[in-house]
Structure 1
Amino acid sequence: MELLRAENLSHSFDYPLFKDLCFSLNEGQSIAIQGSSGCGKSTLLHILSTLLKPNSGKVLFQNHDLYALSESERLRIRRYFFGIIFQTHYLFKGFSAFENIELASVLSGQSLDKSLLEKLGIAHLLHQKIAKLSGGQQQRVSIARVLCKKPKIIFADEATGNLDKENATNVIEILNSYVKENAGVLIFVTHDNSLALLCDEQYKLSQNGIC
């Protein structure tokens, strides 16, 4: 069943990024988006996740035109249905790892799956303050924070950039398993070809579209 669709998306800043972009994603599907630096990969992710309005075109989630909704309605969808893993972690530095994850769980109304923390290899770090964790450990905390919300769509922008190869592969396998088991979608922006190949499909983004 189709979960997300882009119709004729176009966007530019001081220079054009992409024009008339069209594609659709089905439940249980994972895709990797690649392309040269500056081609608009992160911008596309922000548009699909309703953080940035496109110059033109539509984004439909479960057949609802997201940019025809009010900002409060889009906020509700982001809170309960979307999970966004940024390149920057945006964790509360004064909180422990557990407090950061628990806060997301409470705000989304979901119970925390502690087995997830074991899979990500951070269960032993839960009571450490974020400021004392390494970049890779913080990255895994931010991934756990997203997954505990049980989102329908995961938007991952270079979500493994701070991880070694073993942990990066483990994370992608966890994300892939999650969307398959929960009829969700993973959209993963990466420069790493070997990680991209772990997704169901690989797309290249350019001014001419996505292929």
Structure 2
Amino acid sequence: MSESLEEQSLITNDKSNILLEAKNISHSFDYKLFENINLEIKSKESISIIGMSGSGKSTFLNILSSLLNPKSGEILYNSKNLYTLKKKDLLNIRREDFGIIFQAHYLFRGFSASDNLNIATLLSGENIDKDLLIKLNIDFVLNQSVGELSGGQQQRLSIARVLTKKPKIIFADEPTGNLDKDTAKIVMDTLFDYIHNNNAALVLVTHEEDLAKQCNHTYKLENLQLKELK
């Protein structure tokens, strides 16, 4: 009897760690991309999604991160469906709780690296983490304009800007796609450390299977379904 109660307790605790839940998500454009997908995203966990080009990985990430309405299904955050919230409430979640790392940098090119980080602090009320900048090896470029930075430095700056606002969930679309192997490792180690230290979660879309396997759970999007590989 005691074992049964302990098992029930573990299940309950496990459920309490859910940050985001996808329920029966389906989407299509001129053709079906995926249908009836279910996924739970928990604190301190990293999830990777792989699949062939055109399988819908980035589209699914956009739906999870509230940037795209699914054709059907629900995305629950704090037990509320993101797509039935008022626009103001949804914008607050994007600004305060979600961190989205795009393939493109989306930095303000007319500003310095420091200015780009300060914009994040103004929106979130958080301070710039100097240790984070050192870890990403961009602490020495703060006074340079974005146009003077290398592509890799710009990518790391955009990641630092996202982490500066202390998001609960990071949605990353090929965050290391344009980085060399050593720099990619620095970025991924930084993301993994962040979610562990901040009770956050990471959802990663990548075409690199070796990178995907570093996450706690790996899924493959194929034949309209999301299949767990790890």
Question: Unaligned regions of 5+ residues in structure 2, if any?
Answer: 1-16
Q: For 1:93-132, what aligned pairs fall within 5 Å after superposition? A: 93-132=109-148
Please report how far the alpha carbon of residue 62 of structure 1 lies from its aligned counterpart in structure 2 after TM superposition. Answer: 2.0
Correspondence for 1:170: 186
Q: Is the 8 A contact 2:32 2:224 kept in 1?
A: no
| Equivalent residue for 1:85, pick from 94, 101, 106 | 101
Indicate whether 1:198 and 2:224 are aligned.
Answer: no
Quote the Cα distance in structure 2 between the aligned partners of 1:203 and 1:173.
Answer: 20
If the length of structure 2 is used for normalisation, what is the TM-score?
0.90
Quote the Cα distance in structure 2 between the aligned partners of 1:206 and 1:105.
Answer: 39
Correspondence for 2:53: 37
Please report how far the alpha carbon of residue 198 of structure 1 lies from its aligned counterpart in structure 2 after TM superposition. Answer: 1.5
Q: Is the 8 A contact 1:153 1:186 kept in 2?
A: yes
Please report how far the alpha carbon of residue 106 of structure 1 lies from its aligned counterpart in structure 2 after TM superposition. Answer: 1.4
List, as ranges, runs of 4+ consecutive aligned residues in structure 1 with deviation greater than 3 Å: none
| Equivalent residue for 1:5, pick from 5, 13, 21 | 21
Quote the Cα distance in structure 1 between the aligned partners of 2:140 and 2:119.
Answer: 18
Deviations 1:146-194 (A, max 9, x none): 0001000000000111111011111111111111111111001111122
Quote the Cα distance in structure 1 between the aligned partners of 2:36 and 2:207.
Answer: 24
Q: Is the 8 A contact 1:16 1:207 kept in 2?
A: no
| Equivalent residue for 1:58, pick from 42, 57, 74 | 74
Larger Rg: 2
RMSD of the alignment, in Å? 0.9
Quote the Cα distance in structure 2 between the aligned partners of 1:192 and 1:178.
Answer: 21
Letter in 1 for 2:208: D
Indicate whether 1:150 and 2:148 are aligned.
Answer: no
Q: Is the 8 A contact 2:50 2:207 kept in 1?
A: yes
Letter in 2 for 1:74: L
Please report how far the alpha carbon of residue 207 of structure 1 lies from its aligned counterpart in structure 2 after TM superposition. Answer: 3.5
Quote the Cα distance in structure 2 between the aligned partners of 1:9 and 1:146.
Answer: 26
Letter in 1 for 2:132: L
Please report how far the alpha carbon of residue 15 of structure 1 lies from its aligned counterpart in structure 2 after TM superposition. Answer: 1.2
Aligned length: 211
Letter in 2 for 1:9: I
